[in-house]
């Protein structure tokens, strides 16, 4: 399912960044409590807030709230729906067959991509949930329950894609993709609802061109991808001058040897877990006083919540 992941992640990333200008354009109507160490409670920084705290009582899904949040985010929901439908009909072969299913597995050595495609689903659903959460906090008159509504929107969007795949002769509906999508939106929900977790934990994609695909293709060059969780020490109660604020702990996964070019080179199949220590690039360049509170500072730190820069960490892996 490499072709499907290309368009899918591109679509999500395009919608995410195309909405950034709209998100920054509108200030929140009332102040939001901010995690300790982030910003003053009296300040409101618009929709790209670094660590907004939700109500300590977790907000579940409510139909009335969902309807309000859906009507408050027309650009994001319409953009995802229209672009996904267009790509499905033009590039994903939707409508080429009657409904069918496929069994793809997860991380086994007998799978097509060693699990990298499934992590692509996790990451795509996660990004989409993050987008909808920020948009609802930005635009909705009442953002209570924003995380639950965002998770629902993201999950339904990814379900729509998978149902379309079911009518594709090349692909088919895969229940493993549904599991991966659920994991992605679930991670976003937990990260937004557990107080302080967003300041401590990121889920990121790292990409370095492998040469097994032409050009710069972070969305489809599976042998150049790594997915990781980063535990940021800056999210803990450290002194602002403590150099540990610029360090983070990594745990990640990658697979190699599954692409056609790698197989032609007789490269062995590898599925690797790795652990390391890295630099917190967002904190290093955008976390200092005078920069942190600016639009550029907020966007910079937000970008590095989702993207890992290669060669900025040391790890036990040998890739």
Angle, helices 146-166/63-72, rounded to nearest 10 degrees: 80
48 Cβ neighbours under 8 A, 6+ residues apart: 20, 23, 24, 134, 295, 298, 299, 302
Distance separating alpha carbons of residues 297 and 222, to the nearest angstrom:
31
Give the per-residue pLDDT at 51: 40
Give the per-residue pLDDT at 166: 92
Distance separating alpha carbons of residues 127 and 251, to the nearest angstrom:
19
Q: How would you write the chain as a 3-class SS string?
A: CHHHHHHHHHHHHHHHHHCHHHHHHCCCCCCCCECCCCCCCCCCCCCCCCCECCCCCCCCCCHHHHHHHHHHCHHHHHHHHHHHHHHHHHCCCECCCCCCECCCCCCCCCCCCCCHHHHHHHHHHHHHHHHHHHHHHHHCCCCCCHHHHHHHHHHHHHHHHHHHHHCECCCCECHHHHHHHHHHHHHHHHHHHCCCHHHHEEEEEEECCCCCCCCCCCCCCHHHEEEEEEEEHHHCCCCCCCHHHHEEEEEEEEEECCCHHHHHCCCCCEEEEEEEEEECHHHHHHCCCCCCCCHHHHHHHHHHHHEECCCCEEECCCC
Phi/psi of residue 211, each to 5°?
85, -5
pLDDT in tens, 234-248: 999 899 899 999 999
Contact 287, 238 (CB under 8 A): no
Give the per-residue pLDDT at 177: 93
Question: Which residues of the chain are modeled with pLDDT < 50?
Answer: 1-4, 6-7, 9-46, 50-54, 56-57
């Amino acid at each position: 399912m490499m072709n499907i992941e290309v368009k899918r992640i591109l679509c999500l990333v395009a919608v995410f960044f195309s909405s950034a200008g709209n998100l920054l354009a509108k200030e929140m109507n009332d102040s939001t409590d901010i995690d300790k160490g982030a910003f003053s409670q009296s300040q409101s920084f618009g929709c790209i807030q670094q660590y907004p705290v939700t109500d300590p009582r977790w907000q579940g899904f409510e139909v009335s709230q969902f309807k309000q949040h859906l009507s408050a985010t027309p650009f994001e929901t319409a953009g995802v729906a229209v672009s996904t439908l267009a790509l499905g009909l033009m590039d994903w072969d939707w409508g080429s067959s009657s409904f069918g299913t496929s069994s793809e597995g997860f991380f086994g050595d007998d799978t097509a991509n060693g699990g990298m495609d499934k992590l692509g689903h996790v990451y795509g659903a996660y990004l989409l949930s993050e987008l909808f959460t920020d948009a609802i906090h930005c635009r909705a008159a009442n953002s209570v329950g924003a995380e639950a509504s965002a998770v629902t929107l993201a999950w339904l969007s990814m379900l729509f894609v998978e149902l379309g795949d079911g009518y594709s002769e090349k692909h088919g509906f895969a229940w493993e993709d549904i599991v991966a999508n659920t994991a992605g939106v679930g991670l976003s929900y937990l990260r937004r609802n557990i107080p302080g977790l967003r300041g401590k934990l990121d889920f990121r994609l790292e990409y370095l061109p492998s040469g097994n695909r032409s050009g710069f293709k972070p969305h489809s060059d599976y042998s150049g991808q790594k997915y990781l969780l980063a535990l940021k020490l800056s999210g803990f109660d450290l002194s602002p001058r403590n150099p540990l604020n610029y360090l983070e702990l990594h745990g990640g996964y990658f697979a190699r040897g599954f692409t056609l070019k790698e197989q032609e080179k007789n490269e062995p199949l590898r599925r690797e877990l790795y652990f390391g220590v890295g630099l917190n690039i967002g904190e290093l360049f955008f976390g200092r006083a005078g920069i942190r509170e600016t639009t550029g500072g907020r966007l910079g730190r937000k970008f590095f919540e989702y993207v890992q820069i290669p060669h900025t960490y040391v790890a036990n892996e040998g890739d």
